[in-house]
Amino acid sequence: MFNLANAIARVESKIIDTEMAKEKTDSEGRKYIGMYFKCCNVYTRIYKSRLGDRYVGFCPKCGAKVQLMIGAGGVNDRFFIAK
């Protein structure tokens, strides 16, 4: 069950390099990257924001939010892990 308080408390922010993130595009033209949520051992997509400056997504099981800022010199993990 989604718990907003928990989700806010567990926001994870990172800086990533878009190229290294291996961005993909879905059938509707939205940009996304693969995201592994360590909290619930589940893999899902997180989508780029409308402004294009970050990827934002939620764990589909517990609602933990992850926010990846896009910028040079960021992390280059294939998958990002929400703690």
Number of Cβ within 10 Å of residue 33's Cβ equals 21
Q: What are phi and psi of 4, to 5 degrees?
A: -60, -40
Min separation Cβ 65 and Zn ion, Å = 10
| Of residues 3 and 76, the one with the C-beta less far from Zn ion | 3
| Of residues 40 and 69, the one with the C-beta less far from Zn ion | 40
Min separation Cβ 82 and Zn ion, Å = 7
| Of residues 31 and 61, the one with the C-beta less far from Zn ion | 61
- Give me the residues that bind Zn ion (CB under 5 A), please: 37, 39-40, 59, 61-62, 64
Helix (H, G, I), strand (E, B) or coil at 75: strand
Min separation Cβ 52 and Zn ion, Å = 26
Q: Are 41 and 82 in contact (CB under 8 A)?
A: no
Kindly give, in sequence order, each residue whose CB lies less than 8 Å from that of residue 72, ignoring residues fewer than 6 positions away. 17
